Amino acid sequence: MIWIALILGSVGLGWLLGRGDWTDNFRAATDTLVPNLLGVLLGLTTGVYRRERIRRRRTYASPSMAYIGKSILFSGVAVGITAGASPVAWAPDVLPLASAAAAVGLSLWVGNLPPKL
């Protein structure tokens, strides 16, 4: 719930202090949506593979790494939504980097969940 408040707050701050064009940011976000989403899903696939290793008792789950992964995932999602929805002149590399951070976070989160879930 707090992540939604952070995203809305950062988008609102971008609208107050922004010096860019919202339509350009939104167009860039929609143009790169498919490759970025595929990158995030690659992180999900990696996490499911790591989870299978935990289920077969080849390694152990780490709840702290799962929590760190969840934080990285939601941070990447927050940056991506903020970059696409606020009128701030972002660098063009922000969306792929946010997607990569979300993929790493999703991989860590799913891959380190306890085996009883």
pLDDT tens, residue by residue, 37-96: 999 999 999 988 888 887 777 777 788 888 999 999 999 998 888 888 888 778 888 999
Confidence label for 20 from pLDDT (cuts 50, 70 and 90): low
Nearest CA to 113 out of 45, 67, 57, 73 is that of 67
Cα 14 to its chain centre, rounded Å, is 19
Average pLDDT of the residues in 106-112: 91
**Where are the domains positioned within the chain?**
2-111
Q: What pTM value is reported for the model?
A: 0.81
